[in-house]
Every structure is written in structure tokens, then in C-alpha cells.
Copies of this chain bind each other. A is one copy, B any other.
Amino acid sequence: MKVTVAITRRPEIADPQGTTVRRALHDLGFAEVDTVRFDRLLTLEVDGSDSETIRQRVEEMCERLLANPVLEDFVVEVDR
């Protein structure tokens, strides 16, 4: 089953990459850009048929390896 995980920096955590890209976009003439945030998007193919079990396992993967729980939040979506 296909699972997507969006791992986003918590709002209070600085995003230097986003700040740099925002400046570069302004330099290119895209002055309408207020903010840019850079996050990670993971796509997993996972064996199994029960989407609730898969969701719980992938959330465990996020907590143990994929995300940094101090700095990041994550949202898991299992394709049905």
C-alpha cells in the first residue's frame, strides 16, 4: 500500500532554507511571495492489507527514525 508522510518543521523553528529561497524569489521579481517553508515529503510502499495497522506502523517509524520529534511534526496518509 502506498503511504505518504509529510514531515514539517514546527512553526516556532527557524527555516533558513526557506528564508534564503524567499530572498532569491524576490531577487527574481516574484515580490508577491510572503513566506516559503521547506519540508520533507516521504512516499513509502508498505506490504500489508489493513490500512489502520499500516498507519500505526508508519507512525512508529516516524517516531523512531523518520522525524525529529523535538523539531518536527508529521502527518501520515494511507492511500485506500
Is B28's CB under 8 angstroms from A46's CB? Answer: no
Q: Which of B24, B34, B35, B44 contacts A65 (CB 8 A)?
A: B24
Q: B21 to A46, Cβ gap below 8 A?
A: no
Name the interface size band of chain A: 20 to 34
B6 with A32: CB separation less than 8 A = no
CB 8 Å contact bits of A33-47 with B (1 = contact, 0 = none): 111111111111111
Say yes or no: B65 contacts A21, CB within 8 Å.
yes
Which residue of the partner chain B has the closest CB to A38? B42
C-alpha gap A21/B65 in the complex (Å): 8
Q: 5 tightest A-B contacts by CB? A: A41-B41, A34-B45, A32-B47, A37-B43, A39-B41
